[in-house]
Structure 1
Amino acid sequence: MRHFLRGGTGPEGCDPLFQGKNSRQSRTLALRVAVAAAGLLLLADLAAPPRAEAQTGEKPPAATDANGAKTGNGAKPSNGTKTGNGTNGAKPAPAPAAPPAPAAAAPAPSGPVDVAFGAYQAGNYLTAYKEAMKRVEAGTDPAAMTLLGELYARGYGIPYDPAKARQWYERAAKAGSANAMFALGMMNLTGQGKTVDETAAQKWFEQSAKAGNPAAAYNLGLIYLQGRGVTQDFTKAATYFKQGADGGVADAQYALSVLLNAGNGVPVDKAAAIKYLTAAAEQDHVTAEVELAIATFNGNGVPKDEAAGAALFRKAALAGNAIAQNRYARVLSVGRGAPQNKVA
């Protein structure tokens, strides 16, 4: 969607190092909201710890979408775009969306020490399964039910079984688990264990967002931004992005900053746009870092600070962002904001 493919980097008259009218890089710069077309953010209820093969000796099977493409569990979505906390590529996308890989972690359950969750995070999946079953057998425990759904959905420590995963998620959702509602939304969206059902996915995301899940709110924002199964509505998209942004989702913070800056679905608010852009950059959202670097270097909406802008370019460049690499190379070549180094 072209509303999110911004060709410019600021008003004319800004520093020619990055803003010249004859600069092809400036004219063609198009930063993605978070990811590229045909998917949504996958923030799993429980992140896969580093030892994904612990206690089993076998890699769990990856879930697949309706087209047979791997989703979640650290896999690339079917469109082949890299996703995650920010984007590292420079190629524009026709519309935002897509599940990032790997999945991001949800906060650990509050209250007493959670043995089941701790075992999962340590990669001790059989122990996690046994402890979660104990809690379920002892009474209604939506967190334990969600954990069981996660284990079956990923095939960690136990056989991969999306049907059983769905059953556990549904029990947990009925008991009020926002994370389980979100997981059901993702299963319906990706067609894990059944055919894709975007209408059902939207309903689960709505329930999850209403229950306070910021990742679900971000997904709903993308659904309305794209008009995916619903009438395209930038105002609703902005509302859901704000819920996700205020809940700490970096992709939502970046998406909302873009809408605020352009006045899509919300009144133009440059100060708020910078606020959310900064929040996303502080969470290492690479695309946000690049935009904030440009604004900071040029003093566009923030105090001009070439050194700080150069530092942000360097950080994003080291993360693999091609635009940042190009801009930082130019910084070094002229010695603006960083010592001149034409060799580097």
Structure 2
Amino acid sequence: MIMLRLTPILAVLLLAGTSAVAQMPLTPSGVQPPATDKPKPLERPAEKPKASEKAAEKPPAPTAAAKKPAPPPAAAAKPAAPSLPSAPATATTTSPPPNDPNVDLVYGAYQRGQYKTAFDLATAKAQTGDPKAMAMLGQLYENAMGVKRDYDKAAAWYKRAADAGDRESMFALAMMQLAGRGGPVDRQDAVKLLASAAKLGEPKAAYNLALLYLDGQTLPQDLKRSAELLQMAADGGNPEAQYALATFYKEGTGVPKDPQKAVQLLQAAALAENVDAEVEYAIALYNGTGTAKNLPAAVALLRKAAKQNSPIAQNRLAWVLYYGSGTPADKAEAYKWHLVAKTAGKGDPKLDEKFADLSPDDRTKGEQAAKRWLGTTK
């Protein structure tokens, strides 16, 4: 099951701390850093979707939204549309209804990876008109689990379950219609299904509908409505929506500006393992923007995001380690992350200059550590 992906358009919604704290800087893209070599506060780089911001002289601030997600089934976003993180391509999660041991058997088999058993049990249960069993059959057919992939049959089972009021099937069928799977592309019906599922409390549906209102192609652009839907999805625990809504509160897009709410949402998304949110929350903690300053916690989040292969986090961690801000200085380790980030396309000429005078011992240690991380050590 796929979820909509929007290509970020404006860097204005890419969160980051910008307070003028006399610590270490994470400067904006294309902005010439001050001549002094004294560390400055972390700042968000204004960047294009694919982490295209240029490196800055002072330790640049981590920022989320480093990836360029694939465009949604709808037309490309208008230049004026704000940026949103991409939704992951994930299968629909089918939850068993409470107090139904028969469906629990279906879901239990599915959870254990016994897809053929789940298919057989769900087939029998679906004949009784159970929408959750129908939804399970749709998912199994769609994802080729225990049965040969068949989008037509998946769409048919999702539709039966959706007609019976199953919100997850409404969402799943909508995404298939937007992608043109199991039938021709049908954006109008997909929007109706997403709206119905969102009204029933399906977070993924609310999030994707918000993206359509933000995109302004399938639906007229409506930032206020997009924010409302993001709030619904965020309240439902969707980390992508929490991150996206945080950008809205940061910049006052569709909602009043509120740095505190932005940070709360970033924290929630970071706890849910959203890497972009981890990086942005690290910035807020580092600069004390909307929350109390906490350099050790900020560095810990940068490390975590760097280890999850965020090039922005790797680059910013290199700056942090170079200056020893919030953590002991370690130029060999800093050089390692600089090389790793560069391999991922996050080059930084200013860091190249910094490391020009690196001691031979630190250079060797950094290069070896980078090779081990990248798996290129012979």
Q: Pick the TM interval, shorter chain.
A: 0.7 to 0.9
Match of 2:32 among 12, 17, 22: 22
Normalising by structure 1, we get a TM-score of 0.78
- Distance change in 2, residues 1:109/1:341 (3 Å): farther
Match of 1:244 among 207, 214, 233: 233
Q: Distance in 1 between matches of 2:328 and 2:233?
A: 39
Partner SS for 1:336:
coil
Deviations 1:44-83 (A, max 9, x none): xxxxxxxxxxxxxxxxxxxxx89xxxxxxxxxxxxxxxxx
Normalising by structure 2, we get a TM-score of 0.71
Are residue 130 (structure 1) and residue 148 (structure 2) matched? no
Match of 1:221 among 207, 210, 217: 210
The alignment's C-alpha RMSD in Å is: 2.8
Match of 2:221 among 227, 232, 237: 232
Q: Distance in 1 between matches of 2:166 and 2:290?
A: 41
Q: Distance in 1 between matches of 2:272 and 2:89?
A: 16
* Percent pairwise identity: 40
Q: Shift of the alpha carbon at 1:27?
A: 3.9
Letter of the 1:149 partner, please give it: G
CA contact under 8 A between 1:8 and 1:28: conserved in structure 2? no
CA contact under 8 A between 1:293 and 1:310: conserved in structure 2? yes
Equivalent residues in 2 for 1:117-156 (5 A)?
117-137=107-127, 139-156=128-145
Partner SS for 2:332:
coil
Letter of the 1:22 partner, please give it: Q
Equivalent residues in 2 for 1:280-295 (5 A)?
280-295=269-284
- Report the more deviating stretch, 169-178 or 121-130: 121-130
Q: Distance in 1 between matches of 2:254 and 2:96?
A: 34
Residue 319 of structure 2 aligns with which residue? 330
Equivalent residues in 2 for 1:1-344 (5 A)?
2-3=9-10, 5-6=12-13, 9-11=16-18, 13-15=20-22, 17-20=24-27, 22-23=32-33, 26-29=44-47, 31-32=64-65, 36-39=69-72, 95-96=83-84, 98-103=86-91, 105=93, 107-113=95-101, 114-137=104-127, 139-344=128-333
- Distance change in 2, residues 1:6/1:238 (3 Å): closer
Give the length in aligned residue pairs. 294
- Distance change in 2, residues 1:328/1:107 (3 Å): farther
- Distance change in 2, residues 1:8/1:259 (3 Å): closer
Letter of the 2:208 partner, please give it: N
Q: Shift of the alpha carbon at 1:317?
A: 0.6
CA contact under 8 A between 2:177 and 2:183: conserved in structure 1? yes
CA contact under 8 A between 1:126 and 1:158: conserved in structure 2? yes
Q: Shift of the alpha carbon at 1:298?
A: 1.3
Q: Shift of the alpha carbon at 1:5?
A: 4.3
Q: Shift of the alpha carbon at 1:12?
A: 5.4
Deviations 1:135-167 (A, max 9, x none): 123x22110010011111122222222111111
- Report the more deviating stretch, 294-303 or 13-22: 13-22
Partner SS for 1:301:
coil
Q: Which runs of 5+ in 2 are unaligned?
A: 1-7, 35-42, 49-63, 75-80, 334-378
Q: Which runs of 5+ in 1 are unaligned?
A: 40-64, 67-92
Q: Distance in 2 between matches of 1:34 and 1:242?
A: 23
CA contact under 8 A between 2:94 and 2:135: conserved in structure 1? no
CA contact under 8 A between 1:33 and 1:255: conserved in structure 2? no
CA contact under 8 A between 2:171 and 2:197: conserved in structure 1? yes
- Distance change in 2, residues 1:257/1:6 (3 Å): closer
Q: Distance in 2 between matches of 1:325 and 1:159?
A: 41
Q: Distance in 1 between matches of 2:293 and 2:96?
A: 40
Residue 59 of structure 2 aligns with which residue? none
